[in-house]
Structure 1
Amino acid sequence: MKIMKKVPVKQVLTEASKAKLTAEFEKQKKQLDQECQQLSFEKRRIEMKQNISREEVSKRFQKEIDRRKEKIRWVDYKLEQLHILPLGSEITEGEVETMVDVRVGDDWDVVMSEGAIVVQDGKVIRMDG
């Protein structure tokens, strides 16, 4: 029988991948910052209308702004960690689903044990498990 199982994709940190990840994180931060600015603008614009509850509008918009600011803090943390990690470190980049053959008598823990696909500069260099 075949079953689906999630397998992590790990990336070996090189100068090139570190630069690429840094650029991606900076892009995310910029996008989130722009969203915060847009939400602040929309909040002020809507608060100017007279037939609405300013407090309710303010609360809703501030909640969305705060969510994005928290994401910015998380991206900042990831950037910090990225700069600390030495080259050659493996970082989890995501997950993919894979098919696994399961037969009567197989050790379930071995079947479900964590395998991994390891990528370095865009090339698969190893598949564990």
Structure 2
Amino acid sequence: MQLIQTVVVKQILTETSKQQLFDQYQSRKLQLQKECDQLQFELKRLERTKNFSPTTLKKHFEKEIQMRKEKIKLLEFQIEQLHILPLGSELKEKEVQALIEVKVGDVWNEEAGQPTIVIKDGIIEDIR
């Protein structure tokens, strides 16, 4: 019988992976800032058309802009934490699903913990 099990994928922090993460965070931050600017522009454009209620329109756009600003703050925090982390640290990257085979007579040991795949610079370093 096959079961689906969650496997944690961790990344070992190296100079290369640290730079890649930093670039990803910066890129996402710039994208969110562009979205905020675009939303401001759209708000002003739609306010001039007078087809929508100004208060409802403004409330909706401000909510969207605020959501993006919160994500930017989170990214800034992640960038700060990235600078603090020492090389060799393990970062949880994601979780994936794996099929495992079980048969009659296998030891059922739930204390064994969740399997983990450790990656270093894109290469599998360890499977625990």
- TM > 0.5 fold call: yes
Structure 2, unaligned stretches of length 5 or more? none
RMSD of Structure 2 on Structure 1 (CA): 1.4
Question: Match for residue 121 of structure 1?
Answer: 121
Distance across 2 between alignment mates of 1:36 and 1:108: 50
Question: Match for residue 32 of structure 1?
Answer: 32
Distance across 2 between alignment mates of 1:73 and 1:6: 30
Structure 1, unaligned stretches of length 5 or more? none
* Alpha-carbon shift at residue 107 of structure 1 (Å): 2.2
* Identical amino acids, percent of aligned pairs: 43
Moved over 4 A (4+): none
What secondary structure, in the 3-state scheme, does the structure 2 residue paired with 1:48 have? helix
Task: Indicate whether 1:109 and 2:110 are aligned.
Answer: yes
* Alpha-carbon shift at residue 6 of structure 1 (Å): 1.5
Aligned residues: 127
Distance across 2 between alignment mates of 1:49 and 1:106: 70
Task: Indicate whether 1:53 and 2:53 are aligned.
Answer: yes
Distance across 2 between alignment mates of 1:88 and 1:118: 11
Distance across 1 between alignment mates of 2:98 and 2:42: 44
Q: 1:58 to 1:108 in 2, by over 3 A?
A: farther
Task: Indicate whether 1:75 and 2:65 are aligned.
Answer: no
User: Partner amino acid for 1:109?
Assistant: E
